[in-house]
Amino acid sequence: MRAVRSRRELREFIELPFRLHSTQPQWVPPLRLERHAFLSRRFNALARHGEWRLFLAHRDGRVAGRISAQVDHAFNAFQGNRWGMFGFLEIEDDPEVVAALLEAARGWLRERGCERMVGPMDFTANDELGVLVEGHDLRPIVRQPWHPPHYQRLCEEAGLEKEVDVFFWYLHIADREQALPVLFELSEAAERDHGVRLRKMTRRTLRRDLDTFAEIYNDAWKRNWGFVPYGKEDLDAYAHELQLVFDPDWFMVAEIEGEPVGVAITVPDVYQALKRMDGRLLPRGWWHWITRRRYIDIVRVGFLGVKEAYQHTGVAARLYVEHFDLAAAIGPPQGETGWILETNTAMNRAMEAMHGRIVKRYRVYQQSL
């Protein structure tokens, strides 16, 4: 077991999933350049309000597993707790390897006064989250991890206990006819009775619009498990990420008399491009990236929320119906929406009302320290 301290070890940390999963048709290789940037303390916003350490496990001279341990001081300050997180979990099918990795993470977190370890998350609940426990035969879409079935078994045999499950729901434009009529009635009433109007974001104003997004997110999600408010550093980093996947049709703000009351950020599934790029821009990876609109056939609804004071006005229904309308008019014709907590009754009922179905389930674990 060794902490990552050199460039060579960081490269081994990034390369491990390529060796473990490259023969699996569902797995999508990340862009290596992006992974190096994400793990850089210069570029990742967590470095401004938290800290982390990466670990590698070795077996017979090869890297057999990896893990991160991290503390988000902003999260702990807001929640009033002393949690530590773990993430970036990649492991061979070896109980000794996962036990050693988890002990390394626990030890590092104990040294920092943490009382509970939660994860996996890379690095926060707004990044890749959980261990895949249902949907192994499906390919992941943007910001979804993929794991073979033995990950769940090894985690639970190692003593990790379930904290919460999160769902991804699948929706198709063809399901519109089977959605509950009340959804469309609420959407019409939102415009007619409450004056709800939708405004699309632009690339030029994206960073300013993310301040609006944070205002709505910090109000609408404040009661959710794992919530921490977005700060300026987080939004600066998020703006750079979203510039790469920005789509003016799918980034939108709902307003009432000019006041932002709801937001939706929906991202075309760039994992379909990454699958063709095989982790590299060169020699032809760049071509798959710039032509991605030709073949991407699904979107991920990453954030869709409404300020608490306006959740009775049908704003959410208006945003849902706009997604159906866009899918019918310009495509893609299908989408997945998540993360939706298993405890979020309102959102799960809304997905059922739109004739959605759960296609992937991810499990977040916890352990007392």
What SS3 string covers 260-309? EEEEEEEEECCHHHHHHHCCCCCCCHHHHHHCHHHCCCEEEEEEEEECHH
The three-point CA angle 163-164-166 to 5° equals 150
Q: Is the dihedral of CA 145, 148, 149, 155 positive or negative?
A: negative
- pLDDT of 162 higher than 80: yes
pLDDT at 251: 95
H helix and E strand count, the chain: 13, 15
Q: Which of 50-54, 128-132, 256-260, 351-355 has the lowest average pLDDT?
A: 351-355
Q: How confident is the model at residue 287 (pLDDT cuts 50, 70, 90)?
A: confident
Average pLDDT for the chain: 92
Query: Region 299-319: what's the mean pLDDT?
Result: 91
- Residue of 54 and 347 predicted with greater confidence: 54
Query: Region 6-23: what's the mean pLDDT?
Result: 96
Q: Are 106 and 53 in contact (CB under 8 A)?
A: no
CATH class of 2-164: alpha beta
Q: How confident is the model at residue 165 (pLDDT cuts 50, 70, 90)?
A: very high
- pLDDT of 92 higher than 90: yes
CATH H-level, domain 170-368: superfamily: Gcn5-related N-acetyltransferase (GNAT) (3.40.630.30)
- CATH topology match: 2-164 vs 170-368: yes
Q: How confident is the model at residue 285 (pLDDT cuts 50, 70, 90)?
A: confident
- pLDDT of 39 higher than 80: yes
> Given 3-state DSSP classes, what are the helix, strand and coil percentages for the chain, each rounded to the nearest 5?
40, 30, 30
Q: How confident is the model at residue 223 (pLDDT cuts 50, 70, 90)?
A: confident
pLDDT at 176: 79
pLDDT at 34: 92
Q: Are 266 and 301 in contact (CB under 8 A)?
A: yes
Query: Region 151-178: what's the mean pLDDT?
Result: 92
Domain residue limits, the chain? 2-164, 170-368
Burial 103-141 (b: 16+ CB within 10 A, else e): ebbbebbeeeebeebbbbbbbbbbbbbbbbbbbeebbbb
Query: Region 98-110: what's the mean pLDDT?
Result: 97
pLDDT at 291: 78
Rounded to whole angstroms, how far apart are CA atoms 168 and 182? 23
